[in-house]
Amino acid sequence: MADLAAVILAAGKGTRMKSDLVKVMHPLAGAPMVAWPVETARQSGASRIVAVIGHQAETIREYFAGQTDISFALQKEQLGTGHAVACAAGLLGGFTGTVLILCGDVPLIRSQTLRAMAETHTASGAVLTVLTTHVENPCGYGRIIRGFDGRVIRIVEEKDATPEERSLSEINAGIYCADAPFLFEAVSRLGNDNAQGEYYLTDIVTQAAERGLRCSAHAVADPVEVMGVNDRVQLAEAARHARRRIGETLMLDGVTIVDPSATYIDRGVVVDRDTTVHPGVHLAGETRIGTGCIVESGAVIKGSTLGDGCVVEPGAVIRNCRIGNNVVVKAGTVMEDAMIHEHAAIGPMAHLRPGTELGPQVKIGNFVETKKITMGEGSKASHLTYLGDAAIGKNVNVGCGTITCNYDGVRKHRTVIGDDVFVGSDVQFVAPVTIGRNSLIAAGTTVTRDVPPDSLAIARVPQVNKEGWKLKKREE
């Protein structure tokens, strides 16, 4: 569709949210509420988007930084929806196409609906088309008043309506299509002589009617699409619908979601086919999960990429990680800013901290903590170990209870372990220290000096057996 621009009204505070955060920035399935209509406007073919902002304008601007198709009109005082549109006029100066008007607090409108509305608009030769719907409880909405011939002649706000008008069930969704020249001229002529003393955008309907210009209505069947979010009860309700939509799209693309109502998948998450997502899972941020994966209950995955055939067990938390194919992340594991290569197995209850990179086939077992380490192909640390600031080669076996003593109280130091090293249980590496390839560190050794390749390092207090000691003790 040629020449479509969108204006998003988002200057209001959202008093009923009772929040320090401006209403339209409250997250809805992972994206601020206002990001939803902005994205929908794009999908509908709007080449330019103007957001009218006021409260916490900087927060909103910052969120959209780098999105070059969107510009911002500042409405310093919220004098009404008509005034808000007038504020956008400057940024659309010279634009003569069709303007879509959306609300920042009506997030679930679909692009199909907007496109259909724009088609009705063009086909009917109207200067203005209003999106309407029928609701059981029209309380709070503007009511659509139609003339004897069925045309829309006026919209009356709840507060200005007569009891008769209030009984009408067709409401104004607050979403419009308008010819730019008509729109900007009309909003410049609005008055505020009404119950709220505001410049109502809805009064441009009357202007069109009075000038003999056509105003059309486009009805939307599903009231969820035009549901406004004013408080946190409605926010939760909208989020439920948003998640249902996201889940349905994924399921139709071949993802099994065992219980969609108990699964929390954010907008923008990509899941490939034949992956199964169990109840209680959160998939958030820029997460991408490959084919044939299993994500079990209670796993939380944020901003991470998982290859094909991965298994994530219950309660795993994965943040900003890159994970290759066929990796198993076992129950209760927490990992952040880590990179894991194919066929690795992590956990249960491992803690991979930022800067961890694990090669193919690496095995990290229970109660192992890592930080800023690399570990080569096939290496293992199976139990109760702390590895920090270390470069560990291939096929290294790290015994139970191994500790890199990386911190001297002032500075961090590195431990370097060559390929094929065998580290016995209960070893401490007092860094900085380097272990040559193919060496063996005996159990219980505290390593304080470098170990050459192919060597045995052993540092233990020799054992003393005092025979009969226990019997003597008893006699005393």
Q: Which of 134, 241, 383, 413 is catalytic?
A: 383
Cβ 48 vs Cβ 71: under 8 Å: yes
Write out the H or E segment, with its range, that includes residue 267.
none
At 476, the amino acid letter reads E
Least distance (Å) between residue 220 CB and Ca ion: 16
Fill in the per-residue mask, 186 to 225: x = in contact with Ca ion (CB under 5 A), - = not in contact: ----------------------------------------
Check binding of 228 to Ca ion (CB under 5 A).
yes
DSSP conformation letters of 93-142 = TT--SEEEEEETT-TT--HHHHHHHHHHHHHHT-SEEEEEEE-S--TTSP
| Cα 78 versus chain centre, distance | 30
Residue closer to Ca ion, measured from CB, 50 or 201 = 201
Residue number of the CB closest to ligand UD1 reads 142
Between CA 86 and CA 159 the distance in angstroms is: 23
Interface with Ca ion, residue 78, by CB under 5 A: no
**401 near Ca ion, judged by CB under 5 A:** no
Nearest Cα residue to 85 out of 209, 178, 214: 178
| 18 or 411: CB nearest Ca ion | 18
Residue 228 or 280 with smaller CB distance to Ca ion: 228
DSSP state of 76: S
* Residue 324 binding target from Ca ion, ligand UD1, none, CB below 5 to 8 Å by type: none
Determine the longest span between alpha carbons in the chain, in angstroms. 117
State in angstroms the smallest separation of the CB of 234 from ligand UD1.
11
- Nearest distance, CB of residue 88 and ligand UD1, angstroms: 10
- DSSP state at residue 21: S
Separation CA 411–CA 365 (nearest Å): 28
Give least dist CB 142 to Ca ion, A: 10
CB-nearer residue toward Ca ion: 27 or 228: 228
Q: List the one residue out of 379, 373, 326, 325 whose CA is nearest residue 351.
A: 373
Cβ(289)–Cβ(329) below 8 Å: no
Name the residue nearer to Ca ion (CB basis): 10 or 180: 10
Residue type, 171: I
Give the nearest distance from C-beta 70 to ligand UD1 in angstroms: 15
Helices 35-43 and 111-124, axial angle in degrees (round to 10): 50
Q: What is the 3-state secondary structure (H, E, C) of 429-454?
A: EECCEEECCCCEECCCCEECCCECCC
CB 225 within 8 A of CB 110: yes
The CB density around residue 215, as the number of other CB atoms within 10 Å, is 25
CA dist., res. 356 & res. 309, Å (int) = 21
Burial label for 92, CB within 10 Å (0-12, 13-18, 19+), is: buried
CB of 45 or CB of 228, closer to Ca ion: 228
Smallest gap, in angstroms, from Cβ of residue 23 to ligand UD1? 7
Nearer to Ca ion, 228 or 355 (CB): 228
Closer CB to ligand UD1, residue 173 or residue 451?
173
* Contact pattern from residue 258 through residue 297 relative to Ca ion, giving x for each residue in contact according to CB under 5 A and a dash for the rest: ----------------------------------------
310 binds, among ligand UD1, Ca ion, none (CB under 5 to 8 A by kind): none
Which residue in the shown chain puts its C-beta closest to Ca ion? 228
Q: Answer for the pair 41, 8: CB distance below 8 angstroms, yes or no.
A: yes
**Residues 101, 114 contacting (CB under 8 angstroms):** no
d(CA 265, CA 262): 10
| Residues contributing to the site for ligand UD1 (CB under 6 A) | 9-12, 52, 75, 78-81, 83-84, 103-106, 141-142, 155, 157, 171-174, 200-202, 228
CB of 12 to Ca ion, least distance (A): 8
- At closest approach, how far in Å is the CB of 145 from ligand UD1? 11
- Please, which residues have CB within 8 angstroms of residue 146's CB and are 6 or more apart in sequence? 152, 153, 170, 217
218 as an active site residue: the answer is no
Q: Which residues are catalytic?
A: 383
The binding site for Ca ion (CB under 5 A) comprises 228
